[in-house]
Amino acid sequence: MTDTPHDATPPPVLPVSATALHRDIAALLPRLRRFARAVTRHHEDADDLVQLAVERALVRSAQWQPGTRLDSWIFRIMKNAWIDEIRFRSRRDQLFAPEEAGEHVGDQFAEAHQQRLAIEKAMSLLSEDHRIAIALVLVDGLPYKEAAEVLEIPMGTLTSRLARAREALQGLLTDQVRTA
């Protein structure tokens, strides 16, 4: 005899592979959110981008090939979703919402917060290509080969893009220190 009423239907049983895929995607959420924040430069946009990328990944889960890098596949979905969003916004003449710079005033971690804001500001001044390359390799720690595949560019292009991005970021941070 069961404890459930007769009219209750049991939850659908997912195939083991789908359940494992869902679990693996859930484990990637912190990395996806970090990448989305670097790409979008806005917390709410980042959350929306993660949601959209995960939704697309789940809907298109049959396209993912087991044995390949799930993180690279979803990062590529996210990058393409962001490109779609930028195109949509430019067609509609919408602007990005500005970052709230003063949300932690008086906080005991104010200095660390100011450093983070300085880095975010410097990152926002980089080109889209440089910011995405830094986010994938330096922030998320994706191997160069995987990052190049996500960006759909040759590894040499990624390497030179990263070198230029690091140089530009260092220059921007140095300028911020001088003007502070």
| Spatial CB neighbours of 34, under 8 Å, sequence gap ≥ 6 | 135, 139, 140
Contact 162, 133 (CB under 8 A): yes
Contact 17, 65 (CB under 8 A): no
Tell which wins on pLDDT, 20 or 2: 20
Helix/strand/coil percentages in the chain, nearest 5: 70, 0, 30
Closest CA to 34 of 23, 49, 55: 49
> Per-residue confidence at 41, pLDDT binned at 50, 70, 90?
confident
Number of Cβ within 10 Å of residue 119's Cβ equals: 14
**Residue 16 clears pLDDT 60, i.e. is over it:** no
In the prediction, which pLDDT does 93 show?
55
Tell which wins on pLDDT, 2 or 165: 165
In the prediction, which pLDDT does 109 show?
65
**Residue 98 clears pLDDT 60, i.e. is over it:** no
Residue type present at position 109: F
Tell which wins on pLDDT, 54 or 6: 54
**Residue 108 clears pLDDT 80, i.e. is over it:** no
